[in-house]
Amino acid sequence: MTGSQTNDEADALAANEAFYRAFSSGDLRLMSKLWAHLAAVTCLHPGMAELTGRDAVMRSFAAILSQPPSESLNCISPRVRILGKVAVVTCYEAAGNGPAHLAATNVFVLENREWKMVHHHAGPLERPVAVRSNGSMLN
Amino acid sequence: MTGSQTNDEADALAANEAFYRAFSSGDLRLMSKLWAHLAAVTCLHPGMAELTGRDAVMRSFAAILSQPPSESLNCISPRVRILGKVAVVTCYEAAGNGPAHLAATNVFVLENREWKMVHHHAGPLERPVAVRSNGSMLN
C-alpha cells in the first residue's frame, strides 16, 4: 500500500494482518477476538461449504489451529476498500516463502471502533503465483 | 430467505440474482449496469488472479459473455447481510441443474439508491454439493 492510506485503511489492514498472525501462530484467543461479536459472521474455507454463525466458525478455527501449520500463512499484496463502516480486503495467501496458492476476500465491520471480521473466503488459485522477497507479486 | 426480509435485503438479493441472469444470458449491458460506477471494483474469477478496476473487470466479462454457457449459472442458497450501505451476499453456484460446484462472495454498495456490485469472488468447492429442486442444499 502507499503512503496515502487513511487511518481506517491502515487499521483494517492491521486487523487483516492479525488474522494471518493468529492463523500462523495457532492463537485461537486472538482469532476469536478478531471476529465480530455483534454482526453475523460467515466463513468459506478453501473448497468447503459455508459456515454460518460465530459458534460454527470458531469451532472450525479451533480444529484448524489445534494443529498449527509448519509454515506461516502469509498475506500477500493486500488491497483494502473502506465502504462506510465496512472494509473489504482482498489478498493472496502463501505458505511460508512458497508461491501464493489461495486468493482471499476478508470483510470487516466497525464494532466499538475496532475492525472485526464478518466474512472470510479463501479459494485456490489455478496456478500458484510467485512472490517477490518484498511480498509483492511477480505478475 | 424468509418472509422477514427487509427492503434492503430483498433489493440486494435482486441485484445478486440479476448478476447471474446477466451471466447466464450473456447480457454484457446488464452486467455493466450492475457493477459500481463510483466505487473501486475487483473480481476474483475461479482460480484466477485478481482483476482490479472497472475496465479490467468489464473486459473479462466481455470475453466470458461472448461465449455464453450452454447451461445457466444458477445462484443457490443466497445469504445476505446489510452492513450500512454495503450488502454482502454469499451463495453457491451451479451449472443448470447440476450440483453446486463453486462458492461465491458478492459485495454490493448503494450508489444512487441502487445496489451495485463492487466485488465478486467465486472459488471451486472441493466436493460438488447436490441441490434440491427448490434450490436449497441437500446438506
Q: What is the pLDDT of residue A129?
A: 81
- Pick from A99-103, B89-93, B134-138: least confident: B134-138
Compute the distance between CA of residue A87 and CA of residue B83 in angstroms, rounded to an integer.
Answer: 10
Distance from CA of B122 to the nearest CA of A (A): 8
**For a pLDDT cut of 70, what percent of chain A falls above it?**
91
pTM listed for this prediction: 0.93
The widest CA-to-CA distance across chain A, in whole angstroms, is 40
Q: Is A39 an interface residue toward B (CB < 8 Å)?
A: yes
The strand order across the sheet containing A51-52 reads A51-52, A42-44, A114-129, A100-111, A86-95, A73-83
Q: Quote the crossing angle between the two packed helices A54-65 and A7-25, to the nearest 10°.
A: 50
B105 pLDDT more than 90: yes
Tell me: ipTM over 0.90: yes
Span B35-79, pLDDT tens digits: 999 999 999 999 999 999 999 999 999 999 998 778 999 999 999
Determine the pLDDT at residue A1.
Answer: 47
Q: Which residues pair with B88 in a beta bridge?
A: B81, B107
Cα–Cα distance measured from residue B41 to residue A13, given in angstroms and rounded to the nearest whole number? 18
Look up cell 466497525; give the residue: A110
Over the stretch A105-116, which tens digit does the pLDDT of each residue have?
999 999 999 999
User: Rounded to whole angstroms, what are the CA distances from B69 to A7, A65, B17, B24, B121?
Assistant: 44, 40, 17, 7, 19
Query: What pLDDT shows up at residue B1?
Result: 47
Least confident piece of the model among A116-120, B88-92, B135-139 = B135-139
Q: Does A40 touch chain B (CB under 8 A)?
A: yes
Tell me how many residue pairs between chain A and chain B have CB atoms under 8 A apart.
Answer: 109
B139 chain-A contacts, CB cut-off 8 A: 49
Percentage with pLDDT > 90 across chain A: 84
